[in-house]
Structure 1
């Protein structure tokens, strides 16, 4: 950890406790700041005792504006919008408002690789981490996917590298954050209930590049029109990736080959991770890891074995020639369409869940590879109707995921893919999509 005296005897307000707030408060306290935590929700007694033990002040149940008197800085929980009165008053008083990822950069002796985008952040971050680990680059993983960024930054050493997943919420709260390699995967309409406009959302994403210079790299999706329209603001070396264009200066798909510059890295058929959308995630990871000095051998070894992030097109196992995939994170039609696009084999699709009132007509053009549909949950009748519309002959309705796995296996043949990609939220039968995915995994392993 770098030795910094910036915060000694300074009054710092931590707005919103949670995991990141607790980590930031303890770290700043150790750096000599006078820290006060404020949260509208009372934390558990154990957390209160931890704060008291550290000597950290706290105010719960409200955010009194008096906390801003003589405040040096506010560190806010990323999920708290800037429009709340407390933050508006802080900005009016010109008090800096940051998120804890800024602290990570200030303290870290290691370079940082930052990954953002509307979709694919977790998969790409994990893949980059795994490749760099295989290449013996001593990576650490941080951000939304792992340990709180400032905790990792405080512990990182010079010969390591921090691979960080970053949201637009976090990126709105940076001042000097400067990744050695910044990765922007894509930009879709997202979180517009948090951001005041699409323009603000795009600006937040491009904050990732705002402090880079010509010694740094920007790995960007050349197929994304919003990204392409904003490249003029990037000062670092742009390294593109593309699924549709052969870009000899970056990573691209040529026929069925994944390339970096003019080097063939691997055939897409040999990559274990499935889903057409994952081609872009893999290309971004290849470009990033090659720029950081990973060998082609390390990249290939990971791509041939990487099963994906849990519940996101996760390869589970193969039983008697049937490959099982857990895509429980697919809580909408678009996600299930993306999952199905990755398979040439016959698919037995397990789908269903919470009925939000929509139909499934938009799923029809993606069902050409589906030979059997097994439905469950509130939306089962609608999904069955959709399957009949496209001529799927075998349709089975069951009560739950457990019975769906058993039915799918019974109806399958060697060479089939059995895919849980529900196209629906899980709340009719489960608390979370993770719980649904875990049920699927457990039932699959019971088949053995």
Structure 2
């Protein structure tokens, strides 16, 4: 793809979070005339920042924080003035000369990105990992030396404003209806996701989940060479057969050696193995990672065995599908804490997944809908409370030795917490308080 020239361009950065600060510095470094705006003037602006309240026809470009909605007046005004609106990802990738590997999807992005990055590093590949995983791509580009490879996690928000992206290997972990509050329709959401492969050519690779209903359509419309993974279908590229992972019929590793637990993590592992093998990573490096990596914080994270209950923090389960996969990971009786922001999802979809749930404690905006789903599933103990603190106290009371206590909200955190990370940290603090266990 043609790279944008930023030299002497008048650019407005909208949003002053970590990515805003990074792209501001990068734009200054490459010779742009940079201005900053935000809904409220930040208190931590750099000394040399020109802060403005609005945009006008004198600007050449607007770089927005990925999470800022397109309904904002400044963005609508920019588009009406035919000023391009992009995210910092495009600015950064326009400066990068190496190979890009990129992961998107509805769930599993961060774990899959982390696994691939670790596999590349274990094979001594010069790689930096960033994007939605926590380090803005622009921040990675501030260094005077560039890595051979950028391993990126990209959200639909980032992709929507990075239309020039062309990864050597693109991975789509799975596709569900997600972030409809931002994208408004499933079609818009899928279009944002498709942009990860839109500009790939026959010399590039697209890794897809065989069980996602949209995968075949994406493969048909993409020019890239498509590869599929599946934990159940042995006719695809990367699969599981008799307890062993295979890639193109080559044995990679026995599942008994893999330490990362969870049904959903098996799909993440298969996606990562596919990308790593396409890139040329050795089986030795793949095995080194899979026999040592236990998972990321807040993603079916083992908190510990407390009073003979095994406790898991799955605060990252911000949608129904994530909680469905968490519930499928256990054969033991489950005491489930769930609840959070109500996005209008049909929580009755969880009813078939509640078969091992012996108590359901719900809180937050979705508490009553979740309780109703639990009652339909025949859960004997369903309790509605207002806060996570109350939910944890009740779960301590109802759970019994030998059972699982699982926090998997099936909802975003924003009704009571700033993000899923803080929500998960608070859960762990409450659980580790020894008071209240029956």
- In the superposition, the TM-score normalised over structure 1's length comes to 0.82
Change (3 A) 1:182 1:84: same
2:131–2:137 contact (8 Å) kept in structure 1: yes
Change (3 A) 1:202 1:374: closer
Change (3 A) 1:296 1:334: same
Change (3 A) 1:33 1:396: closer
2:360–2:374 contact (8 Å) kept in structure 1: no
Aligned to 1:297: 284
1:377–1:429 contact (8 Å) kept in structure 2: no
Aligned to 2:84: 96
Residue 99 of structure 1 and its aligned partner are, at CA, apart by: 1.3
2:318–2:409 contact (8 Å) kept in structure 1: yes
Change (3 A) 1:29 1:360: closer
Deviations 1:366-409 (A, max 9, x none): 23334x42636468888778667656677899963553565477
Write the distance in 2 (CA, Å) between the matches of 1:182 and 1:412. 44
Write the distance in 2 (CA, Å) between the matches of 1:239 and 1:323. 37
Aligned to 2:401: 412
2:205–2:225 contact (8 Å) kept in structure 1: yes
Pick from 252, 255, 262: which aligns with 1:265? 252
Pick from 220, 230, 249: which aligns with 1:242? 230
**3-state SS of 1:151 partner:** helix
Residue 339 of structure 1 and its aligned partner are, at CA, apart by: 0.6
Residue 180 of structure 1 and its aligned partner are, at CA, apart by: 1.7
Residue 269 of structure 1 and its aligned partner are, at CA, apart by: 4.9
Deviations 1:89-114 (A, max 9, x none): 54454433321111221222432211
Change (3 A) 1:172 1:254: same
Residue 309 of structure 1 and its aligned partner are, at CA, apart by: 2.3
Aligned pair 1:375/2:361, yes or no?
Answer: yes
Aligned to 1:117: 105
Write the distance in 2 (CA, Å) between the matches of 1:129 and 1:17. 28
Unaligned runs of 5+ in 2: none
> Which of the pair has more CA radius of gyration?
1
Aligned pair 1:400/2:390, yes or no?
Answer: yes
Write the distance in 2 (CA, Å) between the matches of 1:9 and 1:358. 47
2:36–2:50 contact (8 Å) kept in structure 1: yes
Write the distance in 2 (CA, Å) between the matches of 1:42 and 1:269. 54
**3-state SS of 1:209 partner:** coil
Residue 328 of structure 1 and its aligned partner are, at CA, apart by: 2.2
1:223–1:244 contact (8 Å) kept in structure 2: no
Change (3 A) 1:443 1:299: farther
- In the superposition, the TM-score normalised over structure 2's length comes to 0.83
Change (3 A) 1:329 1:146: closer
The number of aligned residues is 428
**3-state SS of 2:281 partner:** coil
1:108–1:156 contact (8 Å) kept in structure 2: no
Write the distance in 1 (CA, Å) between the matches of 2:309 and 2:221. 48
Aligned to 1:330: 317
Deviations 1:288-329 (A, max 9, x none): 112223222332332233332221212334569754321123
1:364–1:387 contact (8 Å) kept in structure 2: yes
**3-state SS of 1:140 partner:** strand
Deviating more after overlay: 229-238 vs 192-201: 192-201
Once the two structures are superposed, the pairs formed by residues 38-437 of structure 1 within 5 Å of their partners are 38-44=37-43, 46-47=44-45, 50=46, 53-54=47-48, 56-60=49-53, 63-65=54-56, 68-69=57-58, 71-84=59-72, 86-155=74-143, 157=145, 159-195=147-183, 197-248=185-236, 250-318=237-305, 323-331=310-318, 333-343=320-330, 345-353=331-339, 362-370=349-357, 372-373=358-359, 375=361, 377=363, 400=390, 403=393, 406-407=396-397, 411-413=400-402, 416-423=403-410, 432-437=419-424
Deviations 1:30-82 (A, max 9, x none): 222111112232111x22xx1xx33x32113xx242xx32x332222222344
Residue 17 of structure 1 and its aligned partner are, at CA, apart by: 2.9
2:259–2:290 contact (8 Å) kept in structure 1: yes
Deviating more after overlay: 161-170 vs 304-313: 304-313
Pick from 418, 428, 437: which aligns with 1:441? 428
Write the distance in 1 (CA, Å) between the matches of 2:246 and 2:50. 54
Write the distance in 2 (CA, Å) between the matches of 1:197 and 1:224. 18
Write the distance in 2 (CA, Å) between the matches of 1:110 and 1:139. 10
Change (3 A) 1:330 1:176: closer
